[in-house]
Amino acid sequence: MQGIPIRPDQASTIAQSVDHLYFFITAVTLFFSVLIFSIIFYFMIKYRRRSPDERPKAIEGSLPLEILWTAIPTLIVAVMFVWGSTLYFQNSVAPPGAMEIFVTGKQWMWKVEHPEGQREINELHVPLGRPVKLTMISEDVIHDFFIPAFRIKKDVLPGRYNSMWFEPNKLGTYHLFCAQYCGAFHAGMVGSVIVVEPDEYERWLLGGVQGETIEAAGERIFKESGCSTCHLPDGSGPAPSLTGVYGSTVHLTNGQTLTADDAYIRESIVSPAAKIVSGYKPVMPSFQGQLSEEQILDLVAYIRSIGLPQDNAKEKQQEEGKK
């Protein structure tokens, strides 16, 4: 007979570390709660007034005692801060080579898109033992992507990309919740994360309805939306070339510079007049409301796949070396 579970399964590499911190904070809280209330009750009995005429003596403060009960809590809180910060930074940046999956929150469902083109609703298939990075955005209101068994949770915001990563280390099916009240049917915005063996994951990718890869879908949208008529590869058009732009430094007309990341590319699609590239005029129309967040994610993935300047430079050097 199984007992009552006191916590969800530990199904990711960080889950055990999060639990250790949680149990430490709980133990410290319980210890001091019992200690403080025990002392209070002890003093209530020992120093209670025994007659109406009794007047207690004045008690002088104790500097060593005050230093002690200030230093000990400060040290304990510092340990909690360093421990929690270490876990936060450890889980804030995905390791190199992590598989990227795109998630779009919408009242009241989770839409998932794999790089190979597979799409899911309220389900997320992932391979065992492989780091997975989720790039997330909302189409309407604030949602929150929460997988208790993985001990990860992140707000999913409209108009802004958020990301988080995990590495599943246990096979099974785990609950997925929206942990931010998002409307009347918030309680129904649930799903499942299905962790399978890597071979089974590959079979699942091939066995489903295979669509375009996310880069191919982005290239198609790029052409259908007329982007290719202005953003020519050689930069001779009225808009800058997007070949190799991802990850590069962009110079703006106001003299500022920035790095072309996912957020910048999305903003350039929905609000192209917000940041104008130096040497070009603000002639690009806004695609706000014309493209869904999923389509914009496809476009970002396609622009990213065109190639980074560093990669292009290395390839050229290798070709010149062969010659």
* Three-class SS state of 60: coil
- Beta-carbon contacts of 174 under 8 Å, excluding residues fewer than 6 positions away, are 8, 9, 11, 147, 148, 149, 150, 192, 193, 194, 195
Half-sphere exposure of 9 (CA within 13 A, CB side): 13
In order of their start, the domains of the chain are: 99-207 (2.60.40.420), 214-322 (1.10.760.10)
Tens digit of pLDDT per residue, the chain (323 long)?
455 667 788 999 999 999 999 999 999 999 999 999 999 999 898 888 888 777 777 777 788 889 998 999 999 999 999 999 999 998 888 998 899 999 999 999 999 999 888 889 999 999 999 999 999 999 999 999 999 999 999 999 998 999 999 999 999 999 999 999 999 999 999 999 999 999 999 888 887 555 678 888 888 999 888 888 888 888 788 888 888 888 889 899 888 898 888 889 998 899 888 888 888 888 888 888 888 888 898 899 899 888 654 444 444 444 434 43
pTM above 0.75, yes or no: yes
CA-nearest of 156, 147, 165 to 93 is: 165
Contact 135, 265 (CB under 8 A): no
Beta-strand pair 119-121/109-113: antiparallel
